[in-house]
Every structure is written in structure tokens, then in C-alpha cells.
Amino acid sequence: MTAAPTPPSRFTRVRRLPERGAYDRATIDAILDAAPLCHIGHVIDGRPVVIPTIHWRVGDTLYWHGSSASRMLEATPGAEVCLTATLLDAYVLARSGFNHSVNYRSVMCFGRPRALAEAAEKEAALEHFIEHLFPGRWPSLRPPTAQELKATAVLSMPIDEASAKLRTDGPHDPEADLAWPVWAGLLPVFTMRGAPMPDAHTAPGTEPPQGW
Amino acid sequence: MTAAPTPPSRFTRVRRLPERGAYDRATIDAILDAAPLCHIGHVIDGRPVVIPTIHWRVGDTLYWHGSSASRMLEATPGAEVCLTATLLDAYVLARSGFNHSVNYRSVMCFGRPRALAEAAEKEAALEHFIEHLFPGRWPSLRPPTAQELKATAVLSMPIDEASAKLRTDGPHDPEADLAWPVWAGLLPVFTMRGAPMPDAHTAPGTEPPQGW
């Protein structure tokens, strides 16, 4: 997956394998929407720092959030970040170690996030967050207080410098290796939803979010 | 998950929530070994660049690999990276949006990787890689050629500046919210192995790797 690149104009610093690059917004959006989390890279005092977080997308904008007390979020607005989200789909087993690979979908977005300033803007973004994960849940929740909104930092970043990279094929063994007597093919992996586990204060008969 | 920190001495730049920090090597190793992939942050021309890749661990050392032609791997040896691996375990649904959370396990490792120089050293590392994922597979493969080893860059980095961060609990609603009539608890997610899909050249009756 680390393997390299020949990117569009804006990515001159990051080469990518041309046959694995995809830059159309539909592909990028689908991967961003499917990935349950992302990793955001920051440069802090010259050092790279990569933090996992949950992102969500509304149209052309990515969002993430955290505590207003977080120094990472404080440091982020205005500074460049790289947000990368990756889904592993299968191990690709070939007849040589060299030709082993993985099928995956990954998106990399560069930009300078801004912190949402207005309580109403934050609340709208957080509603999208909850509704993206659990449609219909937001109106059923105890509404946010002014203090909670103040304590929550929400960052936004336009999706305008982004690329996708993916692999979806079986193994690519050279002809000479095809008779090697070992199992080759795809070993799929995927994310499953487990049975909901209500807490002790959830009234019997209360329904978990749809789809769980 | 973005939420902040109070770290050990070496992490003065990155605060972490004290109750979620864990720094013992057993915890760190278990998370690194369980995570199927990681995200590695680089600083390239002052910009953060986060690349997904598959890591593996042998004792006190982390490894990853890629094409020798990759500019990312060329640029990496000697320069500082941040390798972060994260597993999402459950969505934590509370009675307010503010108290929603996730259960997760994450490790962050800082260091300056070195590129393995010797073919034998590379081959040994790649054997560990395959054996970590598919025990017993390496000896059954067509052995690597000198050319393949030359074309493969393997990076190694000691695990000496690392921390884990995790959350494993149910929702933490304040007393006043507990009667709010909405479902609250854990929605678990986990990674499943799908049925093996042999390619067209795998002889009938050939067994896929154990455990699949």
C-alpha cells in the first residue's frame, strides 16, 4: 500500500502508481463516506503527528471535532493538515512474497482547516455527524447546551485537494509462477456490526438505531 | 478520538487525556499486532503527508515496506515519522450528542526509520511479514529473487517512543440525562474474515491459509 505514485499537478511531491490513482469526486466521496475513521497528519514543531479521528462529509466539506481544550485542535486551524482515510478490503495472496498485495480504498485530502466559530454552525455540523452515522437519531437526543457547544471544537476543510488510490484485483503473478503449488487468490476482510449492547438505564423495549 | 492528552515526558507537545493513556509495552505491542494497517505521517517540504501501509513488529522493532522506486520511502530514512495504528471497537451512544464517543485502541510511535541495506536482512524481515499474517506460508512460496529484494525497500524503526490510547467503556451520561428516553449503549464493530476466493490457477484441493 505504501507503493508510489504519479499524481496530478497539485501532488508533485507525492508520486502515486498511475494505475491506482483516481481523482474523480464520486470515488473520493464514496471512500470518505464509507471509512469509519481517518488519520490526520499535522506538523507540530517540525515533527509529524498523526491522530485518529472520526470525520464526516457534507457536500464539498469535511468535518471533524474534538475538545476545545485539545492543543491539537487549537494548533490546527490555519495550518496545513493531511487527512487520510483507508479501507482494507482483502489480502491478495500470490505465489511469491513479492507479488503479495492488498485490495484497499484510500483517500488523501490536503488543506487548512478552519474552526467553526458560531454555536449554530457547530450545532448544524454536529447534527450532520450524528445523522451520518445513525440516521434519525439527532432529534431523539437531549439537545446540546451552550456550554457543550462551547466545549466542542469543530473543524471544517473543503475537499479541493484530494485524491483516491485503490486496488481491486486478484494476484498478478508472472506466467512463470502460475504453476507454483500454493494457494493464491483473495482473502476478503470487512467490517461487521455486532449486536447492540444497551446500557443499564435504557428502558426495555427501546429500539437501537436502525440497521444495528 | 481526537480528544487530548497528558503524556509522558517525551510527549510534551501532544497532550492526551490522562485516563485514556497507556504506555506499557504489552498494551502497545498488542495493539500494533492486532491492527491490520497503520498510517505513517511524514513531513515533506514542510507539509504533512499521511500514507497508509501495512506494518509488522518483530520484538522491539516495527517494519514496513514498499517499492524502492517510491519517493516516499526514499525520503523517509533518517527523517522523523509518526506511525499511528487504530482499531475501532464500538460506537458509544449516549443520551446527548456531546456524550457520544467511540471505544477504540490506538498506538502512536515516533522515530527515524532506517532502510535495511542487506538482501539477507530484507528477506528475513519480509519472511516475518508474511508469517505474521499467514503462519506457515513463507516456506511454501516461490523464493524471492535478488532482483525482487533489490526492488523492495524495507524500513525499520525501534519502538522506543510510543504510547497507546484507548477507551473501553459504556456511555458516560450525567445523572440528569439518564431518564432521557433514547437508546444508549454500545454498538460494536469488528473486522471479519470473508470466505477465501482462490484464483483460476490455484489447483483444486489446495488449502487456503489456516484460519480463513
Q: Which of B42, B45, B181 sits opposite A48 (nearest CB)?
A: B42
Residue B147 pLDDT > 90? yes
Least confident of A21-25, A130-134, B67-71, B189-193: B67-71
Residue of chain A with shortest Cα separation from B67: A3
Tell me the chain A residues in contact with residue B174 when contact means C-beta distances shorter than 8 Å.
none
CA distances from A45 to A8, A42, A117, B14 (A): 29, 10, 26, 11
What DSSP character marks residue B13?
A: T
User: Residue A174 corresponds to which cell in the numbers above?
Assistant: 508472472
Radius of gyration of the CA atoms of chain B, in A: 21
Closest partner residue to A3 among B70, B81, B96, by Cβ? B70
Q: How far apart are CA B100 and CA B4, in angstroms?
A: 16
Give dist(CA B189, CA B42) in Å, integer: 30
- Interior CA angle at A151 toward A145 and A154, to 5°? 100
* Residue A146, min C-alpha distance to chain B (Å): 11
Looking at domain A9-169, which of 2.40.50.1020, 2.60.40.1080, 3.30.70.60, 2.30.110.10 is its CATH number?
Answer: 2.30.110.10
Q: Cell triple for residue B130?
A: 508474511
Contact B13 A206 (CB under 8 A): no
Of A125, A130, A113, residue with least CA distance to A149: A125
- Stretches in chain A below the pLDDT threshold 70: 1-22, 71-76
Residue B181, classified by CB atoms within 10 Å of its CB into exposed (0-12), middle (13-18) or buried (19+), is: exposed
Size of interface A-B (CB pairs under 8 A): 333
Q: Is the pLDDT of residue B10 over 70?
A: no
Residue from the list B95, B126, B191 with its beta carbon closest to the beta carbon of A97? B126
Q: How far apart are CA B91 and CA B72, in angstroms?
A: 34
Q: Which residues contact A34 (CB under 8 A, 6 or more apart)?
A: A87, A105
Cα→Cα distances A62→A68, A153, A162, A192, B170, Å: 18, 14, 11, 25, 28
CB contact under 8 A, B182 and A140: yes
In chain B, residues with a C-beta closer than 8 Å to the C-beta of A104 are: 37, 52
Domain residue ranges in chain B: 9-169
To test the contact with chain B by mutation, choose from A72, A141, A175, A206 the residue with the greatest count of B C-beta atoms within 10 A, namely A141
Contacting residues of A for B194, CB less than 8 Å apart: 90, 187-190
Higher-scoring residue by pLDDT: A39, B24: A39
Handedness of CA B62, B67, B71, B72 (dihedral sign): negative
pLDDT tier, B187 (very low <50, low <70, confident <90, very high otherwise): very high
Task: Please tell me the predicted confidence (pLDDT) of residue B67.
Answer: 77
Sign of CA dihedral A8, A14, A15, A21: negative
Q: Which residues touch A164 (CB under 8 Å, ≥6 apart)?
A: A21, A22, A23, A24, A27, A28, A31, A105, A106, A107, A108
Closest partner CB to A142 (pick from B44, B180, B189): B180
Q: Residue A169 in contact with residue B199, Cβ under 8 Å?
A: no
Cβ–Cβ below 8 Å for B47 and A130: no
Reading the block at residue B62, the C-alpha cell is: 516495527
pLDDT digits (tens, 9 = 90+) for B93-140: 999 999 999 999 999 999 999 999 999 999 999 999 999 999 999 999
Q: What is the amino acid identity at position A187?
A: L
Looking at beta carbons, which residues of chain A come within 8 Å of B53?
1-2
The confidence score (pLDDT) of residue A71 equals: 63
Q: Determine which of A45-49, A63-67, B155-159, B204-208 has the lowest per-residue pLDDT on average.
A: A63-67
Give yes or no for a contact between B53 and B66, defined as CB atoms under 8 angstroms apart.
yes
In this complex, the residue of A36, A88, A209 whose CB is nearest that of residue B88 is A36
Say whether A206 and B151 touch across the interface (CB within 8 A). Answer: no
Alpha-carbon Rg of chain A, whole angstroms? 21
Comparing CB atoms, the residue among B14, B97, B195 nearest residue A126 is B97
Residues from chain A that touch B34, judged by Cβ atoms under 8 A, are none
Chain B positions touching A143 (Cβ under 8 A) are 96
pLDDT bracket for residue B72 (50, 70, 90): low
List the single residue in B with minimal CA-CA distance to A186.
B197
Is B55 in contact with B85 (CB distance < 8 Å)?
Answer: yes
Residue B43 Cα, gap to closest chain A Cα (Å): 6
Residues of chain A in contact with residue B184, where contact means CB-CB under 8 angstroms, are 198-199, 201-202
CB contact under 8 A, A50 and B191: no
CA distance A95 to chain B (A): 6
C-alpha distance from residue A209 to each of A49, A61, A89, B1, B97 (Å) = 34, 26, 26, 21, 14
Q: CA nearest A43 in B: which residue?
A: B48
Nearest CA in chain A to B128: A97
Q: Residue B25, SS3?
A: helix
**Predicted confidence band at B70 (pLDDT cuts at 50, 70, 90)?**
confident
Cα(A16)–Cα(A126) distance, integer angstroms: 34
A24-28, B14-18, B189-193, range with the lowest pLDDT? B14-18
> How many angstroms separate the CA atoms of A40 and A155, rounded?
12
pTM for the complete prediction? 0.89
Q: Does B9 score more than 70 pLDDT?
A: no
Q: Is A211 exposed, middle or buried (0-12, 13-18, 19+ CB in 10 A)?
A: exposed
The CA distance from B38 to A195, in Å, is 27
